[in-house]
Structure 1
Amino acid sequence: RSLLQPKIHFTIHLAKKENREIVLLQIPAADGQPVYFKSRAFVRITSHKTELSKFPDLVRQIYNSQSDWSAKIVEKATIKDLDRSALNMARMKFIERNSKLSKEIESWPDEVFLDKAKITINGEITRTALLLLGKEESSHYILPANAQITWKLDTEEQAYEHYGPPYLINATRIADRIRNYKYKFFPDDVLLSVTVDKYDREVILEALYNCIAHQDYSENSRLLLTEQKDKLVFSNAGSFYEGKPEDYVLGKTTPKRYRNHWLAQAMVNLNMIDTLGYGIHKMFREQRRRFFPLPQYNLQNPREVELVIYGHSIDEAYSKLLLKHTDLPLSTIIMLDRFQKRLKIPEKELEFLKKKGLISGRKPNYFLSETISVKSGEVGQYIKNRGFDKIWYKNLILEYIQKQKSGVSKTEIKDFLWEKLPDVLTDNKKINKATNLLQELRRDGKIINQGTFGKPSWISVD
């Protein structure tokens, strides 16, 4: 079974006939997507096995066949398996969304309210009801699915805690666990600093709610929120279901379908999410408003979606640009964000950023401009004075050392860097700069001194 993707569950039947034991394996039909064995999908046509890719109509039929895991009725569960506090909160959230009907909603019996909010179906408890409103001890009803969210602290300190249903209440408890300090920016042209929260609580909840709504519960995996020193990493099982994350960043795309339609619909009715595709847009917009790097999706694992929310500045020049120019469109900020993260950027976008004065330097050694108000006649001198960032210089030195057959002296490094350092630096400051860069490379374990203290000879560790 480890060679199958996605995982499927066999039902084993034992029987006897003529004193012989018979073992029957009942294999379910593909539901919502083909099942791959060693990355290839097969289909049986009459008595012959052949590759599914030869039959596109059958492929479409499989993709259109998906049942909604979240809408399934849990036969033995009753309203007594729901948490009373969560039920009361759900009614309050539903009233917030339908304020004109508040008195009528307050008068409904619980069974009527749950049906109206599309949490239960004809008074019967669904998996959605157990996830959002269920008592923690009622999670056994949806086994083997894992109804659990794990918060993990991965810093100098180590800690973790598991949270089960009701997700309506426990999602906010998880958000409250995040350590949310104040972060200060210091713009160049003002005396006072700009202070923002390290994380926006609404962004945390939006990301967490998206994980709950889009989790592939058939993978029997828990949701994971990892709190690191300067970022939050959200992980949920299942591929990105409809399109690509970048389709939703500008808030102009509406998803046509959901993996867990009934769950998503209930979460909309309880004011947890919307189904118009604005959630991702809201997270990007809020990070931009707070001058932080934009959220980043990692889809390298086809069976998992990972979202990173940053709580710090990567390149101060990026944050200063956003502080100074609040009118930059989100589409441009997305390019700047990819640039500061050293992600691949199309040549046309680089040309656009250069034309707008948002990046400076020469190809391929561009860097973010800290201002775009430099007069045209001063651009050349500005670039010389600005110099490049520390990482660029360290990479340059390391590449130079690696190309030499023998050790490199401090004087050789100084001569190599001299014309590349900013003109505003004095000779002494340039010497100190070269010395500091060498010492940082040594501390990073990239180079070692095979000479003496007075006459160093630097070689690469690689």
Structure 2
Amino acid sequence: MALNRSELISLVDRLRREPNETEWLEFKENWHEPQVIGEYFSALSNGACLAGKSRGYLVFGIADATHDVVGTNFDPYAVKAKGSQDLLLWLSVGLQPNVGFETHIFDHPSGRVVLFEIGAAWDRPVCFYGTAYIRVGSSRTKLAKHPDKERAIWSRRTDWSAEVCERASLDDLEPEAIAKPREQFRIKHPQNQDDQAAWDDKTFLNKAKLTIHGAITNTAIVLLGKPEASSLLSPAVVKISWILKDAQNHELDYDHFGPPFLLQVDRILLRIRNLTLRTLPSGTLFPQETSQYDPWVIRESLHNCIAHQDYGLYEGGSMSWRHRARFCYRIWGVLSRGMLRP
């Protein structure tokens, strides 16, 4: 779900308050060559990883010396890259691995701003067409010249889902959500059903590896937590957005779903228009009816949104239904443009 104008203005103003440009933040007054922009994408992504940030930022329309908004006429949708390719597509293809980036163009009260948000490198350096870059001071340089930083990026991998949510307790979990996996656990492990009947919730959750010695993990909050428990995971955003759009990509309706995600999948499915298609096979007057989408496919896509979302980023997963029968699933931190299902 895109940030609105006021949120973008607040974000840029917060970035402008940084005392200096950093390894994850770069201000530019106006347009630079496509190759330079791509190198900055790589450098800022790698720098964000080293700084423990979820994103790097490249902002056009800001004076790098004073951080004043001066405006820019740079239009990333109009500029062409090498071989007359669209700039954004060319940049996306060049990022390896593609950590994804978001493009925002908006009017700040002091001038027009173009903001790129680039996902942080995860467990390996991000290269741009085969070369990795890094910011050192105010200079952009090749990462290979700084083996200590490169080693640090390779070693930066944490499993957010397995981390303990220090402020959470069993009272923050939804009893109905706990009951559902207990039933499935009983079906999968019929050999010790008598023992399972004596387990309290704490014992069961330890057995199911949703808690660690009774400590509530982030996964437990995402799957089983009460709606209000999502605030315990802040600044992570635990949310799936359903958005209905028309053929011109205008939003017509929306709904947001939070924990417990284990129960929300069925509720989200009720919002999806899965039309009944009728075909007339040869040799009969009786039409055959079938769903436009296999419900299993939709459910599996929703499960992917939940399981593979990078909750450390500022947005939750989103799912759009567009006229002309197209789904778009967006999983932040994994898929930059979503999976389109014709």
Of all paired residues, the percent bearing the same amino acid is 35
Q: How does 1:132-143 map to 2 (within 5 A)?
A: 132-143=223-234
Matched letter for residue 252 of structure 2 = Q
Q: Name the CA distance, whole Å, in 1 between partners of 2:308 and 2:300.
A: 12
1:232 is aligned to 2:327: yes
Question: Which sits farther off after the overlay, 50-59 or 100-109?
Answer: 50-59
2:281 to 187, 212, 215: 187
What's 2:261 paired with?
167
State the Cα RMSD in Å: 3.4
2:272 to 178, 184, 192: 178
Report if the CA contact (8 A) 1:134-1:165 is conserved: yes
What's 1:308 paired with?
340
Tell me the TM-score normalised to structure 2 length: 0.58
Q: Name the CA distance, whole Å, in 2 between partners of 1:133 and 1:147.
A: 12
The alignment partner of 1:217 has SS state of: coil
Q: Structure 1 pair 102/153, CA: closer, same or farther in 2 (3 Å)?
A: farther
Report if the CA contact (8 A) 1:36-1:42 is conserved: no
Matched letter for residue 333 of structure 2 = G
Q: Structure 1 pair 190/100, CA: closer, same or farther in 2 (3 Å)?
A: farther
Q: Name the CA distance, whole Å, in 1 between partners of 2:140 and 2:277.
A: 61
The alpha carbon displacement at 1:198 in A equals 1.7
Q: Structure 1 pair 145/202, CA: closer, same or farther in 2 (3 Å)?
A: same
Report if the CA contact (8 A) 1:183-1:197 is conserved: yes
The alpha carbon displacement at 1:152 in A equals 0.9
Count of residue pairs brought into register by the alignment: 228
Residues 2-33 of structure 1 deviation map (CA, whole Å, 9 limit, x = unaligned): 5522756969xxxxxxxxxxxxxxxxx97523
Q: Name the CA distance, whole Å, in 1 between partners of 2:50 and 2:240.
A: 23
The alpha carbon displacement at 1:95 in A equals 1.9
1:42 is aligned to 2:137: no
Q: Structure 1 pair 155/31, CA: closer, same or farther in 2 (3 Å)?
A: closer
The alpha carbon displacement at 1:58 in A equals 7.1
What's 1:200 paired with?
294
Q: Structure 1 pair 10/42, CA: closer, same or farther in 2 (3 Å)?
A: closer
Q: Name the CA distance, whole Å, in 2 between partners of 1:216 and 1:121.
A: 21
Q: Name the CA distance, whole Å, in 1 between partners of 2:146 and 2:282.
A: 62
The alpha carbon displacement at 1:308 in A equals 2.3
Residues 426-462 of structure 1 deviation map (CA, whole Å, 9 limit, x = unaligned): xxxxxxxxxxxxxxxxxxxxxxxxxxxxxxxxxxxxx
Residues 397-422 of structure 1 deviation map (CA, whole Å, 9 limit, x = unaligned): xxxxxxxxxxxxxxxxxxxxxxxxxx
1:98 is aligned to 2:192: no
Q: Structure 1 pair 143/231, CA: closer, same or farther in 2 (3 Å)?
A: same
Q: Structure 1: any 5+ residue segments left out of the alignment?
A: 12-28, 240-302, 311-462
What's 1:209 paired with?
303
The alpha carbon displacement at 1:63 in A equals 3.3
Matched letter for residue 152 of structure 1 = I
The alignment partner of 1:209 has SS state of: helix
1:5 is aligned to 2:99: no
Report if the CA contact (8 A) 1:5-1:36 is conserved: no
Q: Structure 2: any 5+ residue segments left out of the alignment?
A: 1-23, 27-43, 53-119
Report if the CA contact (8 A) 2:45-2:121 is conserved: no
Rg (Cα) greater in structure: 1
The alpha carbon displacement at 1:70 in A equals 0.8
Tell me the TM-score normalised to structure 1 length: 0.44
Q: Structure 1 pair 105/59, CA: closer, same or farther in 2 (3 Å)?
A: farther
The alpha carbon displacement at 1:62 in A equals 3.3
The alignment partner of 1:206 has SS state of: helix
Q: Name the CA distance, whole Å, in 2 between partners of 1:205 and 1:153.
A: 18
Residues 262-309 of structure 1 deviation map (CA, whole Å, 9 limit, x = unaligned): xxxxxxxxxxxxxxxxxxxxxxxxxxxxxxxxxxxxxxxxx6251223
